[in-house]
Every structure is written in structure tokens, then in C-alpha cells.
Amino acid sequence: MAERLSNETYYDEFAHWYEKERHDGYHALIDDLEIDLVLPHCHDRDVLEVGCGTGLILNRTARVARSHLGVDLSAGMLQKAVERGLDVVQGDATHLPCPDAAFDTVYSFKVLSHVRHIEVALAEFARVTRPGGRLFLEFYNRHSLRYVVKRATTPGRISAQTDESAVFTRWYNLNDLLAVLPPELELVELAGVRVATVAAAVHRVPVVKGVMRRLEFALRDSALGRFGGFLVLELRRV
């Protein structure tokens, strides 16, 4: 196992490699599956992305939003988001630099499973969301093929010196997540991203990747979605 780094240090280092394979294939599909969930709730609304990274997803939701803000812990990641012309600020998911009830739609992908104090973060998400607003929060799913693959293979690299084992990571199941939700947030829907993909490499095979793309979209909102590698909770702020 690599030496454990702070989340900020880890993602500053990751920033140099982050977009290497994210514009096609597997990673692009994952982004498309996530954006398709949140985008209908971004039109003419005030939108917040927590853990916006280099702005790949925020760049697309910002086009239809009334206003947008991205928050990320890593200055290295945010530098690329700024270059995209996005409104972003450095901050922590457990202490968001935002006023109360400021946003209609709040989302966070690929981030919350790396947050130690998840109850504090969820309370912050509820605080900054307006009553009736929607939240789309993604967590790594312990009951998934992705979990099995991750356990059976060596950690992926995020730089020449460091791999994924250097960052704090927690895997959840649905009951775990429901137990830590603050009372202000109620579950509306559950979606599962990456249900059938065993290995990212299949999405580089021309014919196969088209079939897998259609399959992953079909499975995302099905009963099998609860076995997705990423669980996305659609929540409403009451």
C-alpha cells in the first residue's frame, strides 16, 4: 500500500494526469451517465458541484444553469477549471464556502467516498440546498462488480509516484447511506452507474463499447442499479 496522503495533496498530484483518459471510452461513459441524471435539474437553476475537479462535468451543467459554482479541495485541479472559464472556489466538503439555502441543485460525483466525516459533509450539503431542491450524491458501492475487481487487482496509478491506495476510501451499501442521511434529506430515486462493466478496457473495443454503453444506460435506472459500482442517491431537501 502506498503511503497515505492528505486528500488535498493526493488530488494536487492527480491533477497532472486526471484528464489523460477521460475524454473517450470508459471514463467518458461514466461522466455521461452521471450528467444525464443531473442535467434536467440544472436548467435555469443555481447549481453547485462539490468536488468539481478540473471542471469536466461542471463545464456541461454550467451551460444551462442560471448560475454555477464549483468547489474543490485541490488548487491543482481548480487551475484547469479556471482555464475553462468556470466559477470555482477552493473549499472542503465538510465546510462549504457557501451561504445557507443558496442552490437549487447540488451534486457530487467520485468524491464522497473519500470524505472521512461523511455525516458532517451531508449536513453541509443540506444546509446550502434550498427547500425542495435536488441533490445527486454518488458513493462507491460495496455490493458491486467494481468492488470485486478493485479488491482483486492492483491500485490504479494517479501519477508516476503514487497510486489510488494513497487516499482514504470507504465503500458503502445502501443501508449504510440511508443511516447517515440528515433528516432534511429524503431519498427520491436510486441509480447505479457501472453495473455490468467488469473492466474499463472493454470500452476501447469499437463494437463492444457501443453495446456496453446502451446496456449501462438501461441498467442504471433498473432494479439492478443497486449493484452499480457507483450508487447515486437522488435526494430532496425537505
pLDDT tens-digit map of 170-186 = 999 999 999 999 999 99
- Torsion angle of the four alpha carbons 101, 102, 104, 109, in this order, in degrees rounded to the nearest 10: -100
Closest to 29 in 3D by CA, of 177, 228, 234, 233: 228
Determine the pLDDT at residue 21: 81
Indicate whether 74 pLDDT > 60: yes
Determine the pLDDT at residue 175: 96
Percent of the chain surpassing pLDDT 90: 96
Indicate whether 157 pLDDT > 80: yes
- Give 228: exposed, middle or buried? Use CB within 10 Å, 0-12, 13-18, 19+: buried
Report the chain's terminal Cα–Cα distance, integer Å: 42
Residue 159's pLDDT band, with cuts at 50, 70 and 90, is: very high
Determine the pLDDT at residue 3: 65
Q: What's the CA gap between 216 and 76, in Å, rounded?
A: 32
Question: CA–CA distance from 14 to each of 86, 106, 158, 226 (Å)?
Answer: 20, 24, 5, 29
CA 204 to chain CA mean position, Å: 22
Domains (range + CATH), the chain: 7-237 (3.40.50.150)
Indicate the residue type of 114: H
**Ramachandran sector of residue 53 (left: φ over 0; alpha: ψ -120 to 50; beta: rest):** left
**pLDDT tens-digit map of 30-39:** 999 999 999 9
Indicate whether 51 pLDDT > 90: yes
pTM of the predicted protein model: 0.96
Indicate whether 2 pLDDT > 80: no
Residue 4's pLDDT band, with cuts at 50, 70 and 90, is: confident
Can you list the pairs that 129-133 forms with residues at least 24 positions away whose Cβ atoms lie under 8 Å? 129/101, 129/103, 129/104, 129/237, 130/101, 130/102, 130/103, 130/104, 130/237, 131/101, 131/237, 131/238, 132/236, 132/237, 133/103, 133/104, 133/105, 133/106, 133/236, 133/237
Mean of pLDDT over the chain: 96
